[in-house]
A and B are shown apart, each in its own frame.
Chain A
């Protein structure tokens, strides 16, 4: 069974860590990652960049509306996510608009990825 683990914490608090504190946490995490990876159980892991770097495509309307910042509504639930490799925000938005045409309603938040660990799970 595949599970996604979604990581929540206060961006302010984590952002106020010094580099040493951040490195220490990442080092502790990587011990856990390695253990799971050795068992072939670790899929891709991602650390997102801060929400200030996010852009949101609201697709409940036609044409969808692009707004700066993260998706802040609480009425909807997180149902899934994509990882795409594009030249920049514009290409990312183009792809998101195409997805929106196929599946309107809700929103897509585009958030740049800061750290990408590909993992080793084969399905």
Chain B
């Protein structure tokens, strides 16, 4: 009666906890992963017959641990000089597991596992690939597809990431409060990275990266459940949900970008918005604002506006101002300029972004925003230059196509009766 979908779901959801615990025992990612795989195979054989265990994660940890210890022991018999560091705590392998299983260990196991994958010494792309492989359990093929690279290239990337981790010094002791907070921040950043990787590429070929957004949300939820009173985690979770809620409306049938103002808000996912807003309410109670909460508050203002003209741009301007103070960055200022453009006009917004030119010259959105503002001011020739620069820096075909639409209109206008370009702003 235990159907395969249920088992599949149970294995996926137990994975971070089980691999995290196995990593604590064996202190080696490959060993932990193999042990988990073995346990999963065993589960697929026995669960359909005997029914699912009460606590699938505990079952998988116990079985995974035993099979891995068995195989290490077998290897020990074959090799006269065993590598003791392969196993961190062989000695207490026989001690009752039960008390350790419900211990507070779990929380730090999962956090450690996530932290290892998002290790600051790994480049962003390796962090994401490793987390998707180890924590989420996506296949190398799935991850390769998400990154639009070949399977063997992705395999190599993951192998390189793993050997870097093995070389890095990862502390396995229970972290103190300061260290725990640092790990939390690093892990939150990695989850946001995974989300953005998926979010920025949706609308690419077949929207293949959409699963990355779902996966990021799942990881954020996992983290929030472990640390239920962290307002920044509530903010992160809310931010992801509020942004992901708009996915169905972000592209038209031809795969072209639909700007926020033009989106069919009926396509927004109401359930995700409700959850995001509820999480913001929870976070606000703590009165400890942080960058994720502020960004989520901005997304919430968009979500609350039934029509584009209902958007509280003045408040969004203020929130971006707060974000600039919390986390100064030219990209934040660029985003703020968009709000300023709505509140105080394109002239003020343009003045705001001009000082950013040198730092954002390689950034698609900078040139896109600049072009749109120039267009509003009727400076068509300059707008065209900006749009050309944007196209050259587009990350996806959809981004390039979106800018090309602006350009086509500009060309049509200048070829026609010379109607002012600003009329289409």
Contact = CB atoms under 8 A, between A and B. Distances in A.
A16 B9 contact: yes
Interface in A1-44: 10, 12-18, 21
A118 to B, nearest CB: 16
Interface residues of B, number: 25
Contacts of B271: 49, 114-115
A52 B217 CA distance: 12
Interface in B266-285: 271, 274-275, 277-279, 281-282, 285
Nearest to A18: B214
A34 to B, nearest CB: 21
Contacts of A17: 9
Contacts of A66: 285
B5 interface: yes
Contact of B282 (A12, A16, A53, A114): A53
A49 B275 contact: yes
B10 interface: yes
Residue of B5, B271, B274, B282 with highest tally of chain A CB at under 10 A: B282
Contacts of A13: 6, 9-10, 13
B232 to A, nearest CB: 13
A69 interface: yes
A82 to B, nearest CB: 16
B157 interface: no
A114 B6 contact: no
Contact of A90 (B6, B225, B281): B281
Given A13-B6, A89-B278, A112-B278, A52 B228 contact: yes
A98 interface: no
- Interface of A, helix, strand, loop or mixed by DSSP: mixed
A88 interface: yes
Contact of B5 (A12, A21, A67): A21
A21 B9 CA distance: 11
Given A51-B225, A88-B281, A112 B275 contact: yes
A14 B10 CA distance: 9
Contacts of B5: 21
Interface bracket on A: 20 to 34
B345 to A, nearest CB: 33
A112 B278 CA distance: 7
B286 to A, nearest CB: 8
A88 B275 CA distance: 11
A50 B225 CA distance: 10
A114 B13 contact: no
Contacts of B6: 13
A89 to B, nearest CB: 4
Contacts of A15: 13, 218, 221
A69 B278 contact: no
A112 B10 contact: no
Contacts of B237: 52
B225 A52 contact: yes
A101 to B, nearest CB: 20
Nearest to B270: A114
Contacts of A89: 278, 281-282, 285
Contacts of A67: 229
B275 A53 contact: yes
A114 B228 contact: no
Contacts of A113: 274
B377 interface: no
Contacts of A69: 225, 228-229
A71 B177 CA distance: 25
A66 B285 CA distance: 10
27 contacts: A10-B10, A10-B13, A13-B13, A15-B221, A17-B9, A49-B271, A49-B274, A49-B275, A51-B225, A52-B221, A52-B225, A52-B279, A53-B275, A53-B278, A53-B279, A53-B282, A67-B229, A68-B228, A68-B229, A69-B229, A88-B277, A88-B281, A89-B278, A89-B281, A89-B282, A112-B274, A113-B274
Which 10 pairs show the lowest CB-CB distances between chains A and B? A12-B13, A89-B281, A69-B228, A13-B9, A112-B278, A53-B278, A68-B228, A68-B229, A52-B224, A16-B9
Interface of A: 10, 12-18, 21, 49-53, 55, 66-69, 88-90, 112-115
Given A10-B9, A49-B275, 16 more contacts: A10-B10, A13-B10, A16-B12, A16-B13, A17-B9, A49-B274, A50-B221, A52-B221, A52-B225, A53-B282, A68-B229, A68-B234, A69-B228, A112-B278, A114-B274, A115-B271
